[in-house]
Every structure is written in C-alpha cells, then in structure tokens.
A and B are shown apart, each in its own frame.
Chain A
C-alpha cells in the first residue's frame, strides 16, 4: 500500500534553515508528481510546492518562493523540502502528498503523509 512518511521537523530559530524528507513506498515513486502542503496550528491547508515526476519542473507558493526548494531523489524514493530564512509564519505541520495522476503536475492529491511539525521560535 502507498505510504508517505515525513521526517526532519523540529524547533528552529528564526532565520535558520531546515530540511524535511518524505520517504515513499508502495508505488513507483518516479511516475508521480509530489507536493508539500502545510497547516499552521489551528488553521487551514496551504499548498507549498510541487515537483514533477522527473524532477525537471517545480512550482512554489508566493509565500515561500525564493526561500524553499523542493527536490526529489527517484533512486531513493525520497522527496525533500529545503527551507531557508525561516520565520514564525512558517510554523506548521508539513505534509507530503502524492499527485493523483502519473506525470501530471497540476493534479489533486490522492495520498498524504502523517505530517511533521516545524516550529520556528527563538
């Protein structure tokens, strides 16, 4: 069965960096686009970034553009989110989510991980 397991969250000081990972299993990872979505405490869902199945294309929300980088290693079935210049507004649970159609970057999300909490605080 499809499994997505995020890791790398924690407490980080403002202005610092953090790298999240998402380990995928149960499907052919290299066939699907992948996303990061975040949810601030008590708030709604915010899409963060998407990367194409082959890693050649990526898109970002305006709120993270220029600070966050999404990447993937298809040989390791792994998705990453490099987060730089973190601020309090980046405090959230970060989910990785699979795109619901092979090779289609703009698509609904059919599987989600359990999330990893990032807290930006001094």
Chain B
C-alpha cells in the first residue's frame, strides 16, 4: 500500500514565525505526461471539517491566504506557513490522489502556538 508519512507529528511555532510541515510518499505522485504532482494539503481546525488549502502540490485553493505555500515533487513535499497567525492553529493533512485508489491521507501534523 502507498503510505504518506508526515513530519513532525506536532510543532509549536511563535506567532509571526515560519512553520514547515513535510509529507513523504512511498511512491511518486508525479505524472510525467502532464508534469503534475497529485498531492493536496488540508487544514482542519478544532471542531471543524477539513478545508482544502493546496492542490497539485503548489496551487492555493480559492480564498487561502498567501502565507500558505506548497512545494515539492515526486515523493517529497512541504507545506509552509510563512508567518504563523493565531487562526492557523489546526491539524494539517497531506493527501495523494494519483490515478488509482486509495486516496490516501497522511497521518496529520498538529500546529500550535509557542
């Protein structure tokens, strides 16, 4: 089975500082035909449903602040929050959607304020 491994499991960052979350896939999610990485990032705030942040590894979803950015290709990806705000406290998940099931999620990374 394809596995997405997120690191760290949790991190505490000071307000205004950078937060970096990693996601490693056991198989590449890069499709050579269109050069697209089939990876998304979601944010789930306490008590809420998940919300799409990033898709195609680096495309921000509508309405997502530009302090959120996604990068990486193939098997290694990063979600960066450039300047952490109080409203960014949440669990963040990566997800692969590469052609065939399952549509696997990573285990999640909890972001807190230091």
Q: Which of B28-51 contact A (CB under 8 A)?
A: 38, 40, 42, 44, 49-51
Complex: A114 Cα to B48 Cα, angstroms: 7
- Helix, strand, loop or mixed for chain A's interface? strand
Q: How far is the CB of A99 from chain B (nearest CB, A)?
A: 9
What B residues does A46 contact at CB under 8 A?
105
Which of B13-21, B78-86, B92-100 lies at the interface? B92-100
Complex: A82 Cα to B100 Cα, angstroms: 23
Judged by a CB distance under 8 angstroms, whether B3 is at the interface is no
B61 lies within 8 A of A106 (CB): no
Judged by a CB distance under 8 angstroms, whether A19 is at the interface is no
- For chain B, the bracket of interface size reads 20 to 34
Known pairs A108-B95, A110-B61; A59 contacts B101 (CB<8 A): yes
- Helix, strand, loop or mixed for chain B's interface? loop
Judged by a CB distance under 8 angstroms, whether A11 is at the interface is no
Q: Which of A44-98 contact B (CB under 8 A)?
A: 44-47, 50, 59-62, 95, 97
What B residues does A47 contact at CB under 8 A?
95, 101-105
- Residue among A45, A59, A107, A113 making CB contact with B105, cutoff 8 Å: A45
- Residue among B51, B52, B99 making CB contact with A100, cutoff 8 Å: B52
B55, B101, B105: which has the most chain A beta carbons within 10 Å?
Answer: B101
Hey, which bits of chain B sit against chain A, CB under 8 A? 1, 38, 40, 42, 44, 49-52, 55, 61, 91, 93, 95, 97-108
Residue pairs across A and B with Cβ atoms less than 8 A apart, 24 shown, are: A35-B103, A44-B93, A44-B105, A44-B106, A45-B44, A45-B50, A45-B93, A45-B95, A45-B105, A47-B101, A59-B101, A95-B49, A106-B38, A106-B98, A106-B100, A106-B103, A107-B97, A108-B40, A108-B97, A109-B40, A109-B42, A109-B52, A109-B95, A112-B51
